[in-house]
Structure 1
Amino acid sequence: MKISLLTLLAIIMGVTLLCSEAFASSTMISVHRFKELEQKVNELGLEDLPNTLVVMDDDDTLTMMGCQGQTGANTCQYLGGPAWFSWQSGLAKDSPYCVANSFEDLLKISSLLLAINDMVYTEHDVPTVLNSLTGSKVNLIVLTARGPSNSSATARQFADLPVTGPEHMNFLELIRHNSLIGNKSQIHSIASPFMPCDEGKAKSVSYQQGIMYVAGQNKGEMLKCLLNSTESSSIKHIFFIDDTLENVKDVHAAFEDSKKYNVIAIHYMALEAHKKALTKGPMAETYQNNAKGRWDKIKKTLDLELENPALP
């Protein structure tokens, strides 16, 4: 039996498509050092790196509030960080440590603290790792739960962070120059804020300079939305890294049945002990008192020196 050339080509293409779809998958792993992310990505091989997207959380994954060695009781600032926010969210309103009378007020205080703080890298080699990956044409985006209202503070913090090598002036440039381009904008941003792909979502999101700002939404669904809104047709492999396990689970679940992407959702655990120390262990009371003392001084100064301080 003779098979025409067109038929043979169709069979080959069909088998190739089936193999590629069968290969698509979603996997969850954990790492204790940011350097491990680079190792996992490089396992793909050089030829696949330009088709790879690394998606990163910000707070306690890329950056954190200043904390020398993550151990100093007097130099480690929990105030304004994720562990502090989580702790405050669970406090009774009559607790002497509680800084806000409502969740909305806590969000306002958190935004104020972000606006007046610079950040440090969670690990000193974060920019080195990302420089190395982008040197191999890996794409980057940041997916943060800070919300669109904190985009200016975040951009300023990133712009103040140094990077290694002469290619980029600062961390913000490193992210922006290697991020996805909007479908309609042709720049590394989308006109923002905008409603996510599911019109039923109550909160708007933002994508500016390679950073997507969400506010309480499922990060897996928001990532899928961003991929649909950007020039991502070449992306085949996605590495998502976040210090919050629930976000890792959400991304894994969102892409579990994907036939287009191979996704590795990574739980970043380098700061686990640091975060738990605020509420558990022998130093918890000291850390809590220090956080309270810092806030009391800030609030007192604002009340004394400003006619109408932006305090809830």
Structure 2
Amino acid sequence: MKSVAIAFISAVILSGCAASGAKHATLSSVASFSEMETKIAQWGDAAMPNTLIVMDDDDTLTMMDCPVQSDPEQCQYIGGPAWYAWQSSILNDPTNPYRVAKTSDDLLSISALLLGMNNMPYTDPDIPKVLSDLTEKGARLLVLTARGNSNVSATESQFTNLAVAQKDFLSFVKDNALLGTQSRIASIAGPVIPAACPAHIPVTYQQGVMYVSGQNKGDMLKCLMAITNVNNVRNIVFLDDTAANVQDVYKAFENSKNLNVLALHYTRLEAHKNALTQPAASSLPDNKYQMKANARWRALKSMMDQELLRPNLPASN
């Protein structure tokens, strides 16, 4: 009888929470956009007009091209986040033959240069259909990228060269984006640090894309929501290939009383990234992907050194 009573009380409590619209945050992972769509489906189609889908860019939406993962000749890493993470890890090692820069600023400059020179395909062929289906049901979109203010032009160019729902991806995001409470459009004059925002670097919100310069994505999402039209947002889905970013968003909203937050770690490219960053540094000469990335960079740098009259490129090592 006691167990029956406890079960009855628990059911009443849960029923009361549902009736009062109690919200919560959840951590999970997916390996595809279709898996994300399946998880979102738990809320039902009626919830979609109250749902905001927030997505990272690099290695979540887009990636440096790699048609055949098993063939280093056809897999470009330079300029991508795995390459940047690898280069950051060897930045202070003057003995490493693969190091492309001596300082973080030089590495950022090289990364920005490479971003501006590349188009990037989708990480998942299902992305256009999934996002088209969700927005047709009323969901809104936000791209929340760690890229900085200097990467706006490169990002917009890359997004313009991707197709979705008979539009370019940039237009598609803009048409389904949050609007500024003052601007009434999917952009806010900036770069800007919103009031009471813990940003130490100004951020940019342009055509539905927020550029946060590597700052905490949980904090930055809250900052943007404070200055955009989110009055009817009840559900947030956050998707990012970096686990730390997923944790940051989860922590930022875990005590929210007004929102359902689903923070998802996107694992589709884990093996792809590990192929470059593993094995350990002591085995660098044996990593064929690092060898090819190094060869690509040296060939590119050599061409620019030869053909540009005043190249602004840092010396390696």
> Scaled by the length of structure 2, what TM-score is found?
0.89
Count of paired positions: 293
Counterpart position of 1:63: 62
1:197 CA drift (Å)? 4.0
Shift of 1:201: 3.1
Q: Does 2:115 correspond to 1:114?
A: yes
Aligned to 2:288: 286
Give the AA of the match of 2:170: L
Q: Judge which range, 58-67 or 122-131, deviates more.
A: 122-131
Is the Cα contact below 8 Å between 1:142 and 1:210 reproduced in 2?
Answer: yes
Which residue of 174, 180, 186 maps to 1:188? 186
C-alpha distance in 2, partners of 1:200/1:264?
Answer: 23
CA RMSD of aligned residues (A): 1.8
**CA drift at 1:33:** 1.4
Residue 219 (structure 1) aligns with = 217
Paired letter, 1:230: T
Which residue of structure 2 aligns with residue 53 of structure 1? Answer: 52
Deviation at 1:46, TM superposition (A): 1.4
Partner of 2:156: 155
Letter in 2 for 1:125: D
Deviates more, 1:93-102 or 1:111-120: 93-102
Q: Separation in 2 of the partners of 1:136 and 1:199?
A: 32
- Residue 178 of structure 1 is matched in structure 2 by 176
| Deviations 1:1-56, CA, capped at 9 Å, x for gaps | xxxxxxxxxxxxxx899812xx2111100111121111112221111100000000
Residues 200 and 33 (structure 1 numbering): CA distance in 2 closer, same or farther, change over 3 Å? closer
Is contact 2:197–2:223 with CA below 8 Å preserved after alignment? no
Aligned to 1:4: none
Cα distance between partner residues in 2 of 1:94 and 1:149: 31
Match of 1:269 in 2: 267
Question: Which structure 2 residues correspond to residues 1-312 of structure 1 after superposition, within 5 A?
Answer: 19-20=20-21, 23-91=22-90, 92-163=93-164, 165-166=165-166, 169-198=167-196, 201-280=199-278, 285-312=287-314
1:77-134 alpha-carbon deviations (Å, 9 max, x no partner): 1111111000000101331100001001000000000000000110111111101111
Match of 1:60, SS state, is coil
Q: Which amino acid aligns with 1:73?
A: P
Question: What is the distance in 2 between the residues matched to 1:69 and 1:303?
Answer: 30
8 A contact 1:196–1:222 mirrored in 2: no
Alignment check: 8 A CA contact 2:198 2:219 kept:
no
Unaligned regions of 5+ residues in structure 2, if any?
Answer: 1-15
Q: How far apart are residue 70 of structure 1 and its match? A: 3.0
Distance 2:68 2:254 in 1: 37
Q: Secondary structure at the match of 2:74?
A: coil
Inter-CA distance 196–290: structure 2 relative to 1 (3 Å threshold): farther
Partner amino acid, structure 1, of 2:83: W
Kindly indicate whether the alpha-carbon contact (under 8 Å) linking 2:24 and 2:254 is maintained by their aligned counterparts in 1.
yes
Segment of structure 1 superposing worse, 108-117 or 35-44: 35-44
Shift of 1:199: 5.3
Matches of 2:243 and 2:195, distance apart in 1: 24
Q: Which 5+ residue runs of structure 1 have no aligned equivalent?
A: 1-14
Kindly provide the amino acid, as one letter, of the partner of residue 224 in structure 2. L
